[in-house]
Every structure is written in C-alpha cells, then in structure tokens.
Amino acid sequence: MSDSISTQLENIKHIILVLSGKGGVGKSSISTQLSLCLAKKGHKVGILDIDLTGPSIPRMFGLENRQVHQASSGWVPVFTDESQNLCCMSIGFLLQKKDDSVVWRGPKKNAMIKQFLSDVCWGELDYLIIDTPPGTSDEHISVVEYLKDANPDGAILVTTPQAVALADVRKELNFCKKVNLPILGVIENMSGFICPHCEECTNLFSTGGGEAMANEFGVEFLGRVPIDPSLTLIVENQDSSPDKDLIKKYSASNLFKVLSNITDKIIEKVSLKDT
C-alpha cells in the first residue's frame, strides 16, 4: 500500500467491502442501508462507490447534483447533511452529466480506484463501506491489493434466494478465500415482498438459499432482507420531499429494524479487531 493510501486511511477504524458475484442483487441498497444504520447508531461513516460503470450511491443518497471539491490534501467527499457524520465518494460526482457512460479498460479502472483511496480526505471515520461492482474482476483484485496493509475487517456477501444468484455468489466466496479476505457473513436480499397495504411478507422467489450456502461454506448468515416498496419511495422522493433527513426517514421504515439487527451483528464481529 502506497504512503498516500496509508495517510488517507490511517484514521479509519473499520473497512468493510460489500461484494457479490451476481449483478442486480442489491449491493448498493445494502451498502446504503448499512451506512444509514451505522450513522443512526452514532458512528461516523464513509461510503466509497467503486462500481465505476454503474455508480448508484449518488442517487441512493439524493446527491446526484452534488460535486466533489478539491482541498490542499485531496478530494473532499460529499456529505449527506450538515452533521457531516455520513459522506460519500463516487465517480458519479465526477461526471459532467449523470447519464454519461464510463468506457474504460482495466488499467484506467485500477488507477481510478487507487486515486479514490489515495486522494480522498476521509478524515476520522468509524466505518468505511466499499460498494463494489458484481464479479471477481479488475476492480475487486485492485481494491483488495491496495487495501492489503490497511487490514480491512472483511467482506459482506449479498445474494438473492434464486439458485442462479447463489451459484455466482459461491464464486465470490471462493474469491475471498483465494485473496485472504475475511468473510463477515452473508445477507439474503430480496427475501420476500412486504405488501405496502397490509405489511404481510410473501416469498416471491424462494427462501433459505443464502443461509444454506453460508452453512455450506462455514460462514455466518447475517439475515434476510425483504423487498419493501417504502425504501423505493424514500429514495425516489428525496428531491420533492421537504424533509431531507434521510437517516430519520429510513429509521422510521420497517426495513430499519431488519438492517439494524444485521448491523449489530456486524459491529459485534468487527469489534473483536479492537480487542
């Protein structure tokens, strides 16, 4: 790890990667909700979006029209509110238009990830959550390599209940073992659908696949997260809503209770590093 990366990350207590071998399983949704839960619990949190060709974090936090500012020590991340307890960095903040495509080969992607780690002034953080693209390719190899000396706490793997998703997430589990990245646990996302009228949960796909896979690989199963339309409304209505406090709105949702329990498990696991 370069001296510049060491300098920018030296005041970050915990680094967690959110991974999945499959696209469309909700990594960005889980990264967002985990960050909101940690911030609600009083932690200072940063979220780094290294999905360079499909950055979702600016939209998830209602920050699409915000820009990154340059300071003498590097890029200043975009804060979600005046408390500055939650900040984000994404290539989405660097594009001239939000619909601009990023058409880069591997070396340029790797250089961008290195720049995110070496040039962003994260300051003092309790947690840095890294939202990754699907797969086990350039971005994943690069970020693990650059973070090697920072001793990241590990990875959270996100899957959905379907067999096709589970098959790809198994590859991600094997990737973590090959690069010696600790696995904090598995989350089964989209496990059921919460009716917006009666709040009854119905299994649209199947259930239990994520837990069975976790047991197969000997890793912790962190929990199931259902599809809840209220989260979509919170995210999509941020521009029109008079209340801009995303943490407050999310903490009033049904999903907060689910993710809060998962977050507590993660906090307990990574706290062992401090002892």
87 is in an annotated binding site: no
- Judge whether 201 is annotated as a binding position: no
Are 35 and 60 in contact, with CB atoms under 8 Å apart?
A: no
* Nearest of 234, 207, 165 to residue 27 by alpha carbon: 165
Residue 195 is labelled as binding a ligand: yes
Torsion angle in degrees (nearest 10) through CA of 145, 138, 189, 269? 0
218 is in an annotated binding site: no
- The alpha carbon torsion through 270, 271, 274, 275 (nearest 10 deg) reads -120
Judge whether 142 is annotated as a binding position: no
23 annotated among ligand-binding-site residues: yes
154 labelled ligand-binding: no
Q: Please count the residues of the chain.
A: 275
Residues 40-65: b if buried by 16+ CB within 10 A, e if exposed: beebbbbbbbbbbeebbbbbbbbbbe
* Chain position carrying tokens 């995110």: 116
Q: How far apart are the first and last CA of the chain?
A: 24
Please check if 28 is assigned to a binding site.
yes
- Pairwise CA distance, residues 46 & 51, whole Å: 15
Residues belonging to the binding site for ATP are 21-28
Residues belonging to the binding site are 21-28, 195, 198
Residues belonging to the binding site for [4Fe-4S] cluster are 195, 198
